[in-house]
């Protein structure tokens, strides 16, 4: 809930103090403010200085956002994927294992799935489907299960391009090496590597502009500090491409980059290894201190 007060004096507006209360159970606690209610205050002018115009309830992170020389949007393209217009007709599964909300979808045999031809014009070799990245992941860094498939004949591509409900958007990124971030936000962000696959609108695809920063970005998105940044920049239920672009970036030193590369490569093989993850978290805390 937000309360607004009209004011025609620009300087007075800038000097206005914005107060945020968190943890209250009902409106009667606004005045009493018990020990369970936390209070955060900031000048309206500081919100205007923030390039995202966000009310970030953490002084240290707010300072990083305001002072950042670069954002994720400078280092990577962040885009949303395809929508078929009728998922029950155009999507299928290689297996129901690991698939959420899979009721009503067909199971397709592997000989009908093309994994080598990566063309946005469709396939015409007798196979019908290609792999699709969709929805959330149970693990960070790599998906243990990736059961979704999408129809990909030349006729299907015509449908995606011409149907009023379908969205063949950002197709230049389909099949590229990138990072999949689920659109629906969870308490812990689980970003995963993807390559040679299409991704749908439930995913924000992050495609680093320089190969040397791929593991750095993948590690940041999966780090504790990256998780804080994402949730404070955008406290809503969804991750969007535009919000992810606003993540402040502190460029690591060459030594830090080498350490991150090694740890992220290990985590791709062992995504649940807490020791590797803790070591990575420490490096990002150093980068952003």
Structure confidence by residue, pLDDT tens digits, 103-125: 889 999 999 999 999 999 999 99
Q: Burial-class residue 94 by CB neighbours within 10 Å (0-12, 13-18, 19+).
A: buried
Domain boundaries, given as residue ranges, for the chain: 10-49, 75-287
What six digits make up the tokens of 159?
């449908």
pTM: 0.84
Question: Rounded to 10 degrees, what is the CA torsion of 256, 260, 263, 267?
Answer: 160
Q: Is residue 148 predicted with pLDDT exceeding 80?
A: yes
**pLDDT higher than threshold 60 for residue 57:** no
Which tokens sit at 64? Answer: 């990083």
Q: Which of 3-7, 13-17, 47-51, 153-157 has the lowest mean pLDDT?
A: 47-51
How far apart are alpha carbons 7 and 23 in whole angstroms? Answer: 29
Helix and strand numbers, DSSP H then E, in the chain = 12, 12
CA angle at 160 for the pair 162 and 142, rounded to the nearest 5°: 160
**Whose CA is closest to 243, among 65, 67, 45?**
65
User: How far apart are alpha carbons 214 and 189 in whole angstroms?
Assistant: 17
- 65: three-class secondary structure by DSSP: helix
Q: Looking at residue 236, what is its pLDDT?
A: 74
Query: Which H/E stretch holds residue 71?
Result: strand 70-71
Task: Average the pLDDT over 227-241 and give the result.
Answer: 84
CA-angle at 193, arms to 192 and 199, nearest 5°: 85
Mean pLDDT for the chain?
89
User: 75-287: what fold?
Assistant: Adenine-n6-DNA-methyltransferase TaqI; Chain A, domain 2 (3.90.220)
With beta carbons less than 8 A apart as the criterion, state whether 87 and 166 touch: no
Mean pLDDT of 52-68: 64
Higher per-residue pLDDT: 231 or 5: 231
Does 83 have pLDDT greater than 70? yes
Question: Which residue blocks in 191-223 are alpha helix, DSSP H?
Answer: 214-222
pLDDT of the residue at 123 = 97
Note the pLDDT of residue 234. Answer: 81
Q: Which carries the bigger pLDDT value, residue 210 or residue 5?
A: 210
């Amino acid at each position: 809930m937000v309360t607004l007060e009209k004011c025609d004096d620009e300087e007075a507006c800038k000097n206005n103090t914005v107060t945020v209360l968190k943890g209250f159970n009902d409106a009667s606690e606004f005045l009493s403010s018990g020990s369970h209610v936390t209070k955060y205050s900031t000048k309206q002018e500081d919100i205007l200085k923030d390039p995202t115009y966000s009310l970030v309830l953490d002084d240290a992170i707010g300072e990083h956002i305001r002072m950042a020389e670069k954002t994720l949007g400078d280092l990577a393209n962040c885009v949303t994927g395809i929508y078929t217009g009728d998922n029950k007709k155009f999507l299928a599964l290689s297996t129901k294992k690991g698939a959420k909300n899979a009721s009503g979808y067909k199971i397709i045999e592997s000989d009908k799935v093309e994994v080598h031809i990566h063309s946005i014009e469709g396939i015409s070799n007798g196979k019908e489907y290609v792999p699709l990245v969709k929805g959330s992941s149970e693990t960070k860094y790599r998906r243990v299960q990736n059961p979704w498939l999408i129809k990909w004949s030349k006729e299907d591509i015509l449908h995606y391009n011409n149907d009023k409900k379908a969205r063949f958007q950002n197709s230049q990124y389909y099949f590229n090496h990138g990072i999949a971030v689920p659109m629906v936000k969870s308490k812990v962000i689980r970003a995963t590597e993807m390559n040679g696959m299409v991704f749908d609108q439930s995913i924000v695809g992050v495609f680093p502009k320089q190969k040397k920063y791929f593991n750095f970005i993948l590690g940041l998105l999966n780090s504790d500090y990256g998780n804080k940044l994402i949730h404070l920049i955008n406290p809503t239920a969804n991750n969007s491409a535009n919000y992810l672009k606003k993540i402040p970036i502190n460029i690591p030193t060459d030594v830090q980059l080498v350490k991150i590369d090694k740890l992220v490569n290990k985590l791709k093989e062992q995504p649940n290894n807490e020791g590797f993850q803790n070591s990575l978290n420490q490096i990002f805390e150093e980068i952003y201190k």
